[in-house]
Chain A
Amino acid sequence: MNNIHDMGGFTQFGPIPQETDEPVFHSDWERKVFAMNIASLAFLGPVDRARHAVERMNTKEYINSSYYERWLRGIEIMGKDLGYLTDEEIATGKAIQHKEMPHPPPNAEMVEGLIRGGAPATREDGRLEPVFSVGDIVLVRNLESKGHTRATNYVKGKVGVIIKFNGSHLLPDTHAHDLGDNAQPLYTVRFEAKTLWGDNVDRKDCVYIDLWEDYLEAAE
């Protein structure tokens, strides 16, 4: 989806705000939003859906929201999409309708298990054999996406070189929308600054980014 979250390459957001001795959370509401997000993944997830919920925010609202304000909007958006919450309930904090829950919420032990064990994105089924090899030159396809994708605009239509095959990872583009894992080869691709930002660039810099096989095609 084209929105401001895909912001790689902008230069005028001003100085980077650095904070001395920054706490993990700046206020109790940030702490609560963080905890709610992770704890509710069992019903509102996967994480790809959560990322996409934030990406769908109104552009001006996104830009004027802090990080945990965006996470809070994400909970509201997913809660409504999945039928757990209504606008009226969100406004009042009072439950009106009760949806049958398929299982109890994860308890402390279960969330600790998730944090310590993680949720790997690799899969043993799906497309496992990579089409491309290390050293291959690839073009990032200029695919329109109205849903979730992790192909950034700044690499679309650009040519890079495969530097690593990372195994087969589930595809966020479908996983975020309940359209299946679609596990497929994930590559790390290197792009030169000149390729990304302009023919006149002489900086000896580069960007490495992880891209799924469906995002790529062979190039000369």
Chain B
Amino acid sequence: MSTHNHDTPNPYHDSHRDEAQNKALAERVDKIEALLLEKGLVAQDALDKLADIYENDLGPMNGAKVVARAWVDDEYKKRLLEDATSAIAELGFSGLQGEHMVAVENTPEVHNVVVCTLCSCYPWPVLGLPPSWYKSFAYRSKVVIEPREVLKEFGTTLPDDVEVRVWDSSAEIRYLVIPERPEGTENLSETELADIVNRDSMIGVTKVAAP
């Protein structure tokens, strides 16, 4: 993966706020939270549960299991491509922002990459909450018009004859990319394969590298 953009200060870096800004935001958030609790719009145990689930239970390790299964089991892959919501539920993953799943397969001829230009829709049950770069204006705006330039920022260069398909998640359908299985992984187990599948490859900005 390219490293030259990593952690570079950028006015549009969604997560970068200095100490004073974070302090002011924390105070503003605490006021709203106190109001919502006092007025009975939210319950404290529900807030704690939400943070716990999205920090600990849901993340790209789920999607990686789906991809690894598709790589080792042709019948499963067929079901995944026909009805991803059901196939993903077979492995125990379903729910909010994953109610209507579609899996798209990368091949030597076709490369798929996913975005939500209007907000930052993302398949939470299989990938967790999106990284800052996925939510950035730079990514949301540019990948539909210059996908190859965007992929290069992630260190992914594709031959001219590969068709790049950008999936803009404008409705409640959520997309999971099945990356190509790298050469030299024939002897890896399903668990070992899941370990090499990373988040960015399931969004479609990188390929999976052999270990």
A and B from one complex: yes
Contact surface of A with B, Cβ cutoff 8 Å: 5-11, 13-20, 22, 24-29, 31-36, 38-40, 43-44, 51, 54, 63, 66-67, 69, 72, 75-76, 79, 84-85, 89-95, 98-99, 101, 104-108, 110-112, 114-122, 150-152, 154, 166, 169, 172, 186, 188, 193, 196-197, 203-212
Contact: B141 with A14, CB < 8 Å? no
A8-B140, A19-B7, A115-B50 given; A43·B32 CB < 8 A: no
Residues of A contacting B144 in the complex (Cβ-Cβ under 8 angstroms): 8-9, 154, 196, 207
A17-B12, A205-B147 given; A108·B141 CB < 8 A: no
Residues of A contacting B141 in the complex (Cβ-Cβ under 8 angstroms): 7-11, 13
Q: Would you give the shortest CB distance from A40 to chain B, in whole angstroms?
A: 5
Number of interface residues of B (CB under 8 A): 90
Contact: A98 with B169, CB < 8 Å? no
Contact: A54 with B33, CB < 8 Å? no
Which listed residue, A5, A24, A36, A121, touches B33 by the CB 8 Å rule?
A: A36
Q: B40 an interface residue at 8 Å Cβ cutoff?
A: yes
Contact: B95 with A115, CB < 8 Å? yes
Residues of A contacting B14 in the complex (Cβ-Cβ under 8 angstroms): 17, 66-67
Contact: B95 with A196, CB < 8 Å? no
Residues of A contacting B43 in the complex (Cβ-Cβ under 8 angstroms): 39, 104-108
Contact: A34 with B50, CB < 8 Å? yes
Which of B40, B135, B153 gathers most chain A CB within 10 Å?
A: B40
Contact: B166 with A208, CB < 8 Å? yes
Q: Would you give the shortest CB distance from B170 to chain A, in whole angstroms?
A: 5
A72 to B39, CA, bound (A): 17
Residues of B contacting A75 in the complex (Cβ-Cβ under 8 angstroms): 32, 36
Task: Return the CB mask of B113-140 against A: 1 if under 8 Å, else 0.
Answer: 0010111100000001101110111111
Residues of B contacting A107 in the complex (Cβ-Cβ under 8 angstroms): 43, 45-46
Residues of B contacting A32 in the complex (Cβ-Cβ under 8 angstroms): 29-30, 33, 47, 51
Contact: B168 with A108, CB < 8 Å? no
Which listed residue, B10, B17, B119, B169, touches A15 by the CB 8 Å rule?
A: B10
Contact surface of B with A, Cβ cutoff 8 Å: 1-2, 5-8, 10-17, 22, 25-26, 28-36, 38-43, 45-51, 53-55, 59, 94-100, 115, 117-120, 128-129, 131-133, 135-142, 144-148, 150, 153-154, 160-173
Give 14 new A-B contacts, CB below 8 A, not counting A27-B17, A89-B35, A95-B39: A7-B140, A8-B141, A10-B141, A10-B142, A17-B15, A22-B15, A29-B26, A36-B32, A54-B119, A69-B25, A99-B39, A114-B96, A204-B164, A205-B166
Contact: B119 with A76, CB < 8 Å? no
Contact: B170 with A16, CB < 8 Å? no
A-B pairs with beta carbons under 8 Å apart, 27 shown: A7-B137, A8-B168, A10-B145, A13-B142, A15-B153, A16-B5, A17-B132, A18-B5, A18-B6, A29-B30, A35-B50, A67-B15, A67-B132, A93-B30, A95-B35, A95-B39, A101-B39, A108-B48, A118-B96, A118-B98, A150-B118, A154-B117, A166-B100, A169-B172, A207-B165, A210-B169, A210-B171
Q: Would you give the shortest CB distance from A143 to chain B, in whole angstroms?
A: 14
Q: Would you give the shortest CB distance from A124 to chain B, in whole angstroms?
A: 14
Residues of B contacting A5 in the complex (Cβ-Cβ under 8 angstroms): 118-119
Residues of B contacting A91 in the complex (Cβ-Cβ under 8 angstroms): 31
Q: Would you give the shortest CB distance from A214 to chain B, in whole angstroms?
A: 13
Residues of B contacting A27 in the complex (Cβ-Cβ under 8 angstroms): 17, 22, 25-26
Residues of A contacting B7 in the complex (Cβ-Cβ under 8 angstroms): 18-20
Contact: B6 with A19, CB < 8 Å? yes
A79 to B41, CA, bound (A): 10
Residues of A contacting B162 in the complex (Cβ-Cβ under 8 angstroms): 204
